[in-house]
Amino acid sequence: MTYTVNCSILLTELPLLERPAAAKAAGFDAVEFWWPFETSVPADSEIAKFENAITDAGVQLTGLNFNAGNMPGGDRGLVSWKGRCSEFKDNIDVVAGIGERLGCTAFNALYGNRQDEFTPEEQDELAVRNLVAAAEGVARIGGTVLLEPVSGAPRYPLLTADDALRVIARVKAEAGVGNIKLLADFYHLAVNGDDVESVIENHAKDFGHIQIADNPGRGAPGTGTLPLGEWIARSRELGYDGYIGLEYKEPQETAFSWAIREHAAK
């Protein structure tokens, strides 16, 4: 199994720039991150430190979020956030530059929460324009934009796979953009009541990325009741050949105990 460690939610006992090396020490060769900076356009020195932490650790960066705002504060993306359009557009070149230098081609664009002062239609029109710009911006490095349904954010409008797929279909229909795909986070889909088995059967071959956590609790595989192994295996059978993102909450000392057990059982 080709796993990639999300270093924005795992290994958080360590400073962010020490986490890639910790993932490598735990036996993994790939990492992914949410946006690791405070601003959409950080200083060149900040970017260099981040990139060096990954290359020095000897791991591959497999995924990176566009700036999603203040995630701890409840923000969930700038794509449909009216008033921050220029900030999102400026972020695209930075994201693509990091991707080009580190060989990363998957970029998660969180859609954004609903705003009281604008209609959903107004926000959705902006989202289409921003997603087109993002897709065109990363296309030059062979990149793909990912769109993700999310749980636990009451004002986030993309809850199911169909919600995201409708946006993707609109972007493709209006702009002919093809490099935008569904990020299937099995935890979020399950928590939101989506039929994960059906999503896999109908769309696995077209997934842009898979992420996993168990439920309840968003813990490590095996701490809850989700059949994550079966879902991953079926996705593989149906054509998904990408990484499996480990995006769950677990203390560093036990973060990968399930993987050690899984390896020992083979």
Catalytic residues: 148, 247
The 3-state secondary structure of the chain reads: CCEEEECCCCCCCCCHHHHHHHHHHCCCCEEEECCCCCCCCCCHHHHHHHHHHHHHHCCEEEEEECCCCCCCCCCCCCCCCCCCHHHHHHHHHHHHHHHHHHCCCEEECCCCCCCCCCCHHHHHHHHHHHHHHHHHHHHCCCCEEEECCCCCCCCCCCCCHHHHHHHHHHHHHHHCCCCEEEEEEHHHHHHCCCCHHHHHHHHHHHCCEEEECCCCCCCCCCCCCCCHHHHHHHHHHCCCCCCEEECCCCCHHHCCHHHHHHHHCC
Whether the Cβ atoms of residue 234 and residue 204 lie closer than 8 Å to each other: yes
